[in-house]
Amino acid sequence: MTKIDRTYLDWNATAPLLPAAREACVAALDMVGNPSSVHGEGRALRMLVESARRDVAALVNTAPAHVIFTSGATEAANLALTPTYRMGRTPLAIGHLYVSEIEHPAIREGGRFSRENVTTIPVTPAGIVDLDALEAVLQTHDKAKGLPMVAVMLANNETGIVQPVKAAAEIVRRHGGLLVVDAVQAVGRMPVDIEVLDADFLIVSSHKLGGPKGVGALVSRGEVLMPAPLIRGGGQEKGHRSGTENPAALAGFAAAARAAVTDLVERNTLIADLRDALEAGMRTATNDIIIHGADGERVANTSFFSLPGLKSETGQIAFDLEGIALSAGSACSSGKVGQSHVLAAMGFDAALGGLRVSLGSGSTTADVERFLAAFSRIVSRRRMTGNAA
């Protein structure tokens, strides 16, 4: 199967590597030395790592010293979600974790909290975290066990629905808690500023931006309130994350981060136009399509839809046979199409499931046209047979 035959509409699972990121990775791979070495070779790599830190900090408008590099968003989440914190030199206990029901499994699994210390916050049928429920549950929080920690994502990976993080932050502050925000699907798709959001920690990932996989960061608000390290050893990343840095991955991440903040509004306006054309075309082809979150605020690139009579697994295979890569929600590590916990949380028939189209900077009108042609064929097969495959 040649690349030319395929149309890639699964940018939320992972974005294709940007040429600039690739070049930066390759150049860094050829550099000799360890960033912690004091000789010239080591110092050159240290400069590269610190330059990457500046670029990733700029992605969320903070100081470079607030960026801890990790092996990706999942590791960053496991670093942040822990009952053991320090405020300077003083240990600080976090008693309970509250996570929105639509969080990515990286968050929903609760990191280093034990199961009984994790509570989920429901979302409304519109797919938005229920702030009244958050307020109510924080009122019952037992501070004697430690502070509350709340995790609310900024943009959902399945629906693209933007969450009211600032409003959640107000509630969390009122209850003296900490707020961790998974911004993985938001950076590069909307302005993200840790100060404006009033979050204590943000989580970002390189491969959703067109950087390499296996690298991400936990970004903190300051340097005083910090989680106990998850990985101990040589003390890299100021002791917050030991292990020799991966300069090639960091160079690629940095290039992708720079691209993500360049022409942010213009790029996303073009992507929104493509997404809107795609949704208008689907509505023309069939009037029983349900587009989740279409009436609310979404990031520009995502369309998550359900078609009565078309199971997401069947639909995904049908599109794949048409040469189109899309997803049935979040990419599942087992390769199986699981039921969408996001649709279930929204009170939708999760057994029917949904299909997610996610676009990016390389998406074109031709991609949308090819998708719509395939969509029409699949819809008419469904009409004839009650089945799309």
C-beta of 141 vs 241, nearer to ligand PLP? 241
Q: DSSP 3-state assignment of 42? A: helix
CB of 107 to ligand PLP, least distance (A): 7
C-beta of 118 vs 374, nearer to ligand PLP? 118
Which DSSP string corresponds to 267-325?
HHHHHHHHHHHHHHHHHHH-TT-EETTTTS-B-TTEEEEEBTTB-HHHHHHHHHHTTEE
Q: Which of 267, 304, 287 is nearest to 126 (CA)?
A: 304
> Contact at 8 Å (CB) between 136 and 148?
no
157 binds ligand PLP (CB under 6 A): yes
312 binds ligand PLP (CB under 6 A): no
332 is catalytic: yes
C-beta of 245 vs 378, nearer to ligand PLP? 245
106 binds ligand PLP (CB under 6 A): yes
C-beta of 182 vs 200, nearer to ligand PLP? 182
CB of 204 to ligand PLP, least distance (A): 9
Q: φ, ψ for residue 151 (rounded to 5)?
A: -120, 120
Partners of 94 in the β-ladder: 147
Q: What is the CA radius of gyration of the chain?
A: 21
Token pair listed for 294: 């279409």
360 binds ligand PLP (CB under 6 A): no
CB of 185 to ligand PLP, least distance (A): 5
Rounded (5°) CA angle 260-343-322? 70
72 binds ligand PLP (CB under 6 A): yes
C-beta of 72 vs 360, nearer to ligand PLP? 72
C-beta of 184 vs 274, nearer to ligand PLP? 184
73 binds ligand PLP (CB under 6 A): yes
74 binds ligand PLP (CB under 6 A): yes
* Distance, first Cα to last Cα, the chain: 20
256 binds ligand PLP (CB under 6 A): no
C-beta of 15 vs 282, nearer to ligand PLP? 15
CB of 329 to ligand PLP, least distance (A): 10
**H/E segment holding residue 214:** none
Q: Which of 304, 346, 359 is nearest to 329 (CA)?
A: 304
Torsion angle defined by CA atoms of residues 163, 169, 172 and 176, in that order, rounded to the nearest 10 degrees: 160
Site string for ligand PLP, 167-196 (x = CB under 6 A): ---------------x-xx-----------
209 binds ligand PLP (CB under 6 A): no
CB of 129 to ligand PLP, least distance (A): 14
**Given the residues 65, 136, 332, 351, the one annotated as active site:** 332
Which DSSP string corresponds to 140-202?
T--GGG-EEEEE--SB-TTT-BBP-HHHHHHHHHHTT-EEEEE-TTTTTTS---HHHHT-SEE
153 binds ligand PLP (CB under 6 A): yes
101 binds ligand PLP (CB under 6 A): no
Interface pick for ligand PLP out of 216, 229, 329, 353 (rule CB under 6 A): 216
Contact set with ligand PLP (CB under 6 A): 72-74, 104, 106, 153, 157, 182, 184-185, 205, 216
Active site residues: 332
